[in-house]
Chain A
């Protein structure tokens, strides 16, 4: 469960909404409307005001690193700071088991970061995000660079997470994705929630 109350930052807000355990909220709207800004504000990556809480934690009373393990964001551009893919993971054994679920070769952790395609980066970024077992998962266009078949695989994984009680907020430009995932939708235009 996650509750967002009068969340504001430059170019956005106020935003108010709640997403229950195991539920999914899809955020839609034109490019540049503030969807990514909203996601960044929820995990406190940019200065903002307002309160965000889950059943277990209140943001303002939680150190930022702990909050970001609890409410994890997969940004649209994933970052890598070491040469080898596997060195970015804390639990390679568990992750290796999941590689096939998102259509990646079991060898993927031995790859060099520089040779990853954008679709591979996204899927590996998602698996890295899941290592911390977040209660709330924020996904910024996670399947934008994927072919339809792989997209369906990733959506299967997301549904599995929701069945385990994980709350998901997903930014998407694919009008059918919210339907397939069974998400409620929220539209943002010019930094304001319009529906």
Chain B
């Protein structure tokens, strides 16, 4: 890692000049994007600087309690994001806890197994390994689960006559929901399938690029990337499946009715 090139803040200022140019173009062409660009860029700067400081002190302290607290905060924020990205959500506590619970179960299980059996830092919860890994796993599960739940809840509302027609023919709630359950699962899996298929050809994944830039041997970086992709794929799949089945359960009842009254209006 001796050929690692440290960046100065002046380097960053130069790099940001292209973004400033975009803002100027937006003003000139009256696109109305300059405000959004500026706010997003400012948020990114503040959030990343803060997270850098936070991680630096966390890595220095190496406390299991603090690491767990940060992981919990990440789960809650991701859960809120899943909740906010659905047009129609389950009412009450279910709306927040279903997506969050699925993410927590699949993300925590898979990250812990990976840390204890594959990467094996000492101790296994060392924040320098645990938090970035958990963040990547969680971020991808979040995208998959929010897409899947949004698809399922929209389909249940829009396809009500088709679902009820099957119920009326004496089919069970699981059978009647099956075409739409399948559609939701497919949508949830799509981002991870696409990114696995395109990785290395269309794009070099951010984590691998980062490692290569900081001087890691590319074939070592590839091994890490593969590990991470497997973990992401596994946890996204598990989380999407749990969230969708849980939502189907909640959208129907034991008398095999479709319960759209348990969804909020968009």
Contacts and interface: CB of A to CB of B under 8 A. Distances in A.
A81 B162 contact: yes
Contact of B168 (A46, A47, A66, A73): A73
Contacts of A79: 159-166
Please name the 9 residue pairs, one residue from A and one from B, whose CB atoms are nearest each other, closest first.
A79-B165, A79-B161, A69-B170, A79-B162, A81-B162, A64-B256, A65-B170, A64-B255, A68-B170
Given A66-B170, A128-B169, 20 more contacts: A44-B257, A45-B164, A45-B167, A45-B258, A64-B256, A65-B170, A65-B172, A68-B170, A69-B170, A72-B168, A75-B161, A77-B161, A79-B160, A79-B161, A79-B162, A79-B164, A81-B163, A129-B168, A129-B169, A132-B170
Nearest to B257: A45
B262 to A, nearest CB: 11
A81 B179 contact: yes
Given A44-B257, A46-B257, A47-B257, A65 B165 contact: no
5 contacts: A64-B256, A65-B172, A75-B165, A78-B165, A79-B164
B97 to A, nearest CB: 23
Interface string A59-89: 0000111101100111101111100000000
Nearest to B176: A81
Given A75-B161, A79-B161, A81-B159, A44 B168 contact: no
Interface residues of A, number: 24
B56 interface: no
Contacts of A80: 162, 165
Nearest to A81: B162
A81 B156 CA distance: 12
A178 to B, nearest CB: 24
A143 B227 CA distance: 62
Contacts of A73: 168
B171 interface: yes
Interface of A: 43-47, 63-66, 68-69, 72-75, 77-81, 125, 128-129, 132
Contacts of B253: 47
Contacts of B258: 45
A64 B166 CA distance: 12
B7 to A, nearest CB: 56
B172 to A, nearest CB: 6
Contacts of A78: 161, 165
A191 B11 CA distance: 74
Contacts of A64: 167, 255-257
Contact of A75 (B159, B168, B179, B255): B168
Nearest to A73: B168
Contacts of B169: 68-69, 72, 128-129, 132
Nearest to B165: A79
A73 B165 CA distance: 9
A167 B253 CA distance: 28
Contacts of B256: 63-65
